[in-house]
Amino acid sequence: LESGPKRSAHPKSRTRTVIAKVPELPEIEALRRSLAPELVGRRFESFWKSREPLRQPFSVSAWRKLIQGRTILEVRRRGKFLVLDCEGGGALLFHLGMSGRLRLLPQPAKPERHVHWRGWLEDGRELRLRDPRRFGLVWAGKAENLDRACPLGRLGPEPLDPPLNGQVLMCRAQGSRQQVKAWLLNGANVAGLGNIYVTEALHLAQIHPAKRVNQLTGSAWERLATAVVQVLEEAIRCGGTTLQDFQDGKGRPGSFQYRLLAYGRAGKPCFQCGAPLRDLRMGGRSSVYCANCQR
């Protein structure tokens, strides 16, 4: 396994470390685990929002009616969404987009740039959403309306609960001729997969990212399902390191970036066969793969 800074192909260019910055399913799961014991049983007392819009408007009346003063019963995750279910049927939903960070801060908390939403618990602690790119969202409403009001309703099955199997994937891909990379990135097919994990899973499963889903065999689907589960579970274990940060407030990174086999390694040797990994541009996204191992 590789660790530490990575040197790019050009000898004179500066070294740089590849760090997975985008919050993905494992990071949201780690976040959920760290927040649940702190939030369950508590109530929000007040909130603040910035004037700059996020991906979806935040309803102040829904907040007052359904969230404010209501006991938080559960903190759950659906794909990359985090849901706080409140007593009385209200739900507070977060999505971190690409650059979102959600942290529970002690009082008083220091000001920062790009903070778009803050909610204060009765004890004064602050749940803070910081999101420079504003691809994220915070939404308040009835839990029963989540599916209609939010993209959550269009999500495919959770990859880990229960663990994906090849049969399920193959059935869901019926009638599609999409490239497997694009198909996996669509949350309507499988919830919560981003570019990093799709790249990794395809590499582990030894499947070419441009392969059409209607051309995948049953055993390829099985390998793919197993690989998705494996890479997510390993990342959750690594994300457990990040979990500590939310509690002690020190910004240590997770460790999964050191376990990447393909993502961010274009031009470097495949760990399996030694051939240089290639970078294929698909729909503006990079897809690193091994031309030798992934067919």
DSSP letters, 29-92, are HHHHHHHHHHHTT-BEEEEEE-SS--SS---HHHIIIIIBTPBEEEEEEETTEEEEEETTSEEE
Q: Does residue 132 have an active-site annotation?
A: no
Distance CA 119, CA 141 (A): 15
The least distance separating DNA from the CB of residue 62, rounded to whole angstroms, comes to: 19
In whole angstroms, give the CA distance from residue 290 to residue 295.
8
Whether 183 contacts 209, CB under 8 Å: no
How many CB atoms within 10 Å of residue 174?
A: 8
Nearer to DNA, 44 or 81 (CB): 81
Number of residues counted as binding DNA (CB under 7 A): 41
* Residue 13 found at the interface with DNA (CB under 7 A): yes
**Coil, strand, or helix at residue 117?**
strand
103 is catalytic: no
Contact between 211 and DNA by CB under 7 A: the answer reads no
195 near DNA, rule: CB under 7 A: yes
CA dist., res. 242 & res. 254, Å (int): 5
76 lies in the binding site for DNA (CB under 7 A)? no
Q: Which stretch binds DNA (CB under 7 A): 31-39, 68-76, 194-202, 237-245?
A: 194-202
> What Å distances lie between residue 158 and 189, 192, 198, 228, 274, CA to CA?
10, 7, 14, 11, 34
- Residue 179 contacts DNA per CB under 7 A: yes
By beta-carbon proximity to DNA, the closer residue of 25 and 121 is 25
**x/- string (CB under 7 A) for DNA, residues 127-156?**
-----xxxx---------------x--x--
Residues 6+ apart with CB under 8 A from 194: 22, 24, 25, 80, 185
- By the rule CB under 7 A, 182 interacts with DNA: yes
Q: Which of 80, 128, 130, 265 is labelled catalytic?
A: 80
User: Is 250 among the residues known to form the active site?
Assistant: no
- CB-based contacts of 240, cutoff 8 Å, min separation 6: 30
Considering only residues 80, 101, 203, 223, which one is a binding residue for DNA as defined by CB under 7 A?
80
Q: How many helices (H) and strands (E) does the chain have?
A: 7, 10
27 part of the interface to DNA, by CB under 7 A: no
Distance CA 23, CA 32 (A): 12
- Residues in contact with 281: Cβ distance below 8 Å, sequence separation at least 6, in sequence order: 287
215 binds DNA (CB under 7 A): no
Of 24, 27, 29, 222, catalytic: 24
**In whole angstroms, how close is the CB of 215 to DNA at the nearest point?**
12
Query: Is 134 an active-site residue?
Result: no
Active-site residue, from 23, 26, 159, 209? 23
Tell me whether residue 14 or residue 250 sits nearer to DNA (CB atom). 14
Q: Which residues pair with 46 in a beta bridge?
A: 120
Among 67, 82, 196, 201, binds DNA (CB under 7 A): 196
Q: Which residues are catalytic?
A: 23-24, 80, 285
| Residues in contact with DNA by the rule CB under 7 A | 8, 10, 13-14, 16, 22, 24, 52, 55, 79-81, 95, 97-99, 113-114, 132-135, 151, 154, 175-179, 182, 185, 187, 192, 194-196, 263, 283-286
